[in-house]
Structure 1
Amino acid sequence: MIMHSKGIKIILSSLFVLGTLFSIPVDDASAHSKTVEAGDRYGYVWDLQHRLQQLGYLKEDMDGIFGVDTEQAVIHFQQDFGLKVDGIAGHLTWNQLYQQTFSVNEIQMMAQMVHGEARGEPFKGKVAVAAVIINRVQSNDFPDTVKGVLFENRAFTAVADGQYYMSPERGAYRAVYNAIQGWDPTESAVFYFNPNTATSDWIWSQTQTTKIGKHIFAK
């Protein structure tokens, strides 16, 4: 499912208006056992709304209040994933949300990598880099966390040359959200390289899937 541009604008607006969204509990395994329901405010409601927005279920701005819109978003998510439909974010709902989405910190890290690796590339090329990151997280051949994938030894040039630490432009965030929503222009690639600068013979031996901008993608 690809998020409509309106949905992406809502998320970006929330991110930039609220800054780093310091109220959202991120990367906290205890959220899996937390029950969040109608009437609750703040705390994990921020995280719930953020993850529902990523998947396009919540169209309204995040406000930290579990109201009717958030409850309906939870219900639609539960229906789509075969969960008990009660509008309450309990253990099973949280577990499924965590499998399908990423924390604010993870999105920030991915956006920084997209900016560092694909700055100047067409938007499709930015989405492709984000898709490779997600494909690696989901692959058994790579670390199973965003941080683990991004900082695996010699995995990304942007970490080595410091470009990862630059501030991303909005296009990088948009690319990450499009990849989360399922747009993978790489055809499930887990590698990419610039054929004009690649020095590894091994990378040429991998099965190439497509070329976007200056990058060849492979798996």
Structure 2
Amino acid sequence: MKKFVVSILILAVTCGSCYYYYKTWTTESVLSKYGSRGQEVKDIQYKLAIWGYYKGKVDGVYGWRTSQAVRSFQKKNDLTVDGIAGPQTLAALGLPTGRGTTQTTTSRSGDVNLLARVINGEARGEPYIGQVAVGAVILNRVQHPSFPNTMAGVVYQPRAFTAITDGQVHANMQSDSIRAAQDALNGWDPSGGAIYYYNPAKTTSNWIYSRPVIKRIGKHVFAK
């Protein structure tokens, strides 16, 4: 009987240890954090350097500078500020999350938040349908071969959106912007498939007038 009890205890301890190492491995395999090394860290550093958050060397070593840059990026994008590049932060950076192609609740939440912030910065005060249309343009770009294939890549493409360069992306969020982002992500496209939009009263680009116009909603012209 004693041998049987001892065997059970040994089995329990062994299984517990296996679970601990499995849990640790599966959790940390999708996280880059202080002390991490490798290509993913280089990708994170490169993205953060492009957007002005990271000033150090792109060396694939997740040190203090990288951690602080990630924190600054997270704070600016309303993410959990922990200095860890988990799935939500990686998605916002436009990098693979390590969880395959299935969209998780976390990444969906991150998409809504990022899209809502751009809509809020670019289309506050526009008719609701126009706000959804702005969100749809961003999503249309993700699917278009001429643009980056992630939402963050499209949003943070240099000089693509005024709200990113002038800071309006961080303006106080309006509830309509969140609803508009959700509607756009759910497939509503009032823009008619547009990949560009502009305000004729504000644009300084002559090139944009060469794009075929699809429709006008509020103050924005939507084009392809």
Distance change in 2, residues 1:202/1:123 (3 Å):
same
Counterpart Cα distance in 2 of 1:213 and 1:156: 18
Match of 2:98 in 1: 30
Counterpart Cα distance in 1 of 2:110 and 2:160: 20
**Is 1:125 equivalent to 2:130 in the alignment?**
yes
Q: How many residues align?
A: 136
Distance change in 2, residues 1:152/1:119 (3 Å):
same
User: 1:145, CA displacement in angstroms?
Assistant: 1.2
Counterpart Cα distance in 2 of 1:162 and 1:177: 22
Counterpart Cα distance in 2 of 1:166 and 1:197: 19
**Is 1:214 equivalent to 2:222 in the alignment?**
no
Counterpart Cα distance in 1 of 2:214 and 2:181: 20
AA in 2 matched with 1:189: A
Q: Conserved in 1, the CA contact under 8 Å of 2:148 and 2:154?
A: yes
Match of 1:67 in 2: none
Counterpart Cα distance in 2 of 1:154 and 1:142: 13
User: Secondary structure at the residue paired with 1:29?
Assistant: coil
Counterpart Cα distance in 2 of 1:102 and 1:125: 25
Match of 2:191 in 1: 186
User: 1:181, CA displacement in angstroms?
Assistant: 1.3
- The runs of 5 or more residues in structure 2 that have no matched partner are 1-77
User: 1:197, CA displacement in angstroms?
Assistant: 1.7
Distance change in 2, residues 1:154/1:25 (3 Å):
closer
- The runs of 5 or more residues in structure 1 that have no matched partner are 1-18, 33-94
The 5 Å alignment of 1:42-191 reads: 95=101, 97-98=102-103, 103-191=108-196
Match of 2:51 in 1: none
RMSD (Å), alpha carbons? 2.5
Give TM-score scaled by structure 1 length: 0.57
Counterpart Cα distance in 2 of 1:30 and 1:217: 35
User: Secondary structure at the residue paired with 1:31?
Assistant: coil
Match of 1:195 among 194, 200, 219: 200
Structure number with greater CO (CA < 8 Å, separation at least 6) is 1
Counterpart Cα distance in 1 of 2:107 and 2:136: 13
Identity of aligned residues (%): 42
Counterpart Cα distance in 2 of 1:144 and 1:174: 23
Distance change in 2, residues 1:166/1:189 (3 Å):
same
